[in-house]
Every structure is written in C-alpha cells, then in structure tokens.
Amino acid sequence: MDIHDWSFSYMKHDISGLSFLSYVVDWIVYVAILTVAILFGSVIPPWYHEFSTNDISLMYSHVSEEDTVIPINILLVITVVLPLLQFVLCALYSPSSGTRRAWDIFAGLTCLCGSMATQLMITCVLKNICGLPRPDLLSRCQADIDLVPDEGLSTVAVCTNDNIFLLQEGFRSFPSGHSSTVFCGMVVTSLNIAGKFQVFDKRAMSTKIFLTIVPIIVACFVACTRISDNRHFLRDVVGGAIIGSSAAVWFYSQCFPSVFHLENAGRAYPPRRFGVAAFFNNVGGFWALREKIPGSFMDRILNTRSTLELLKNSDPIVNGEIDNPDELVNIQSNIRFLNRIAPIFKNRTLNLNTKQEETSV
C-alpha cells in the first residue's frame, strides 16, 4: 500500500499505470533472456567432452541444416506462428466480450514468450555445460589419425575441421533444442485448447480431445526427426521434452487457471493489480474486465460494485469514504479512492472473502 497507483487513458480506456508498467517490465525481461540465451548458445563455445574415435554411436553421417526434416525456419513456424494463430482463433471462439478476447490473446502471448525464454535459457546453458558429442561428431570432427592417442579418449584437439561453428555444434547434443522448443510451444497450445473447449467436462467429445492431442503429436514428430537426422540421441530428445513441457506448464499456470476449472472456460486471469493485497489476505488482486459470462476469480477484484459493498460493510472507517460504490468502479476513480484510504490499512489486512480482520505483528 506504500506505492500509489496512477491511471492514464488510451483510446477512451483508463489503464492502471503500475499494472501497465509491470507487463512492460515482464516483456523486457523475457526478450532480454531470449537474446542472451541465443547469444550464449551460439557465441560462447561449449565444454568439449572427451570422446572415442572408435565409438560407433558417434559415427553417423552429418546432415546439413537445410536438409533436415524440420529446419530452423519451419521450427519457428510450428512453435511461434501456430501458437499465436490458435490463441487468436480460440479467443474468437470464446463467448466473451471484445475486451476479454483481446486480454486473453495478450495473456497467451505473454505466457508463450515467458516459457520460450525460460526453456531456451535452460537448454542453451545445459548444452554448453554438458558439452556432450552428437551422433555425427566424428563426421564433423574429421579427426587426424596421427593425433589420436593409442589408449584412452581423444579431445577436440584431434579434429581438423576448419569450420569452428560446425565443430562447436557437434558438442551441443544434450538437451535437444528442437525438442524443448517444440514441446514448449505445443504444450502451451494444447493447454489453451483444452481450457477454451472445456475438454475435461467428462462428456468424451472426440473432436475436442483430438484437437487437444494434435499439438502433442506434432511435438513428438518434430522431436523424433532429430534422431533420424543424426542430430541427437534419445536421451537428448527426452531431456528437451521435459524442459520444454515444464516451462510451458509453469507459465500457463501463472497466466491461466487450471484447465480443470471448467466454469472459467479457459479465460486468462484478469490483469494484475497492485496496492490491494491488504484486502485479499495479502495475495494481491485483479482489475475487472468487461465480461459477457460470469467473471473469472472476481473475489480478488476491488473495482466491482459487489466487492465495494462488501468493503463498505466490513470496515466502519471505510464506510464513511464510500457514498456510492457505482462511482468507484472505473479505474481512475477507484485508484483515487484506494490512494485515499491506503493509510488506514498500512499495518493490517482485511480479508474480504471471510470478512475477518487480521492485525499484523
């Protein structure tokens, strides 16, 4: 409650300054992580793990990136363009207001960007730290037989290939970047479809189930091509799938309620709000969105008439500050109201859900 919010208008819409700034910071952090991860995974050389020139698992032929089944440009379409498209289509399918649909699309993009940045950072760091050889390492290395030791393992020093980038990539086997990236994008897609179409309503509608499973099938196909292209071992693909899926589930749960919460109909959490934690048992709050169907998690929104009425009846001091709750519903007036009563709740909380006041130590 020490930081006072402010509001500004854009296209006749009032916007919370603190909330807007927080999302800007999120995107700056995600883009920065993506940039650093890409640079780290392409510029910084990996740890060159020792290997045996007699290891048949490293003797597979090298396939150029252009000749692989899923090159980078196709991977970007699958993991970025397709999820973006499905967020838009699912939002249009939802029986919600235009404001709610726009917000769900933004929340989906934030979820996708955050999860992609996280999984890529983890994958690139692990690739360089592990420095494990790919199945086509010897094809990349072109080892000089005279430099290979008679006993023991060889090092990168025996390689004669002048293409440093190609050689370095030969030591970035674990985990699979294609696998982590495609599972991240496809798991986010699958979860969003499952939520929007209420797949877990126990009615066993095969079409909805199929739409939810298809992204996972696509992810499995892309990941397996990395084995057939001699780029990765099975362990690399499985490790990448775990990393990508974990990042997707984690970020989806931050932006969207559980897909098993059927009444929510796959809608994202409302816009985050600051300065109202004292009213909701110190767990923060949301801004109200224009809804056509009953709102999602309205018990943590302080600019609706019902919640303001509850606040008015819960505290005698605040009661004198609220003449007409309808006048405090819009963002601008609600922020002024909260800034005015903030000193009252500086050292205590008021749980509006249970109407029980708790005094802090």
List active site positions: 178, 232
For tokens 């990508």, name the residue.
Answer: 244
Task: Give the separation between CA 162 and CA 142, rounded to whole angstroms.
Answer: 10
Are 193 and 259 a contacting pair, CB within 8 Å? no
CA distance 329 to 272: 16
* Nearest alpha carbon to residue 55 among 144, 121, 152, 191: 152
CA dihedral of 100, 104, 109, 114, whole degrees rounded to 10: 120
Distance CA 49, CA 129 (A): 10
Secondary structure in 3-state letters for the chain:
CCCCCCEEEECCEEEEHHHHHHHHHHHHHHHHHHHHHHHHHHCCCCCCCCECCCCHHHCCCCCCHHHCCCCHHHHHHHHHHHHHHHHHHHHHHCCCCHHHHHHHHHHHHHHHHHHHHHHHHHHHHHHHHHCCCCCCHHHHHCECHHHCCCCCCECHHHECCCCHHHHHHCCCCCCCHHHHHHHHHHHHHHHHHHHHCCCCCCCCCHHHHHHHHHHHHHHHHHHHHHHHCCCCCHHHHHHHHHHHHHHHHHHHHHHCCCCCCHHHCCCCCCCEECCCHHHCCCCCEECCCCCCCCCCCHHHECCCHHHHHHHHHHCHHHHCCCCCHHHHCCHHHHHHHHHHHHHHHCCEEEECCCCEEEECC
175 backbone dihedrals φ, ψ, rounded to 5° = -85, 175
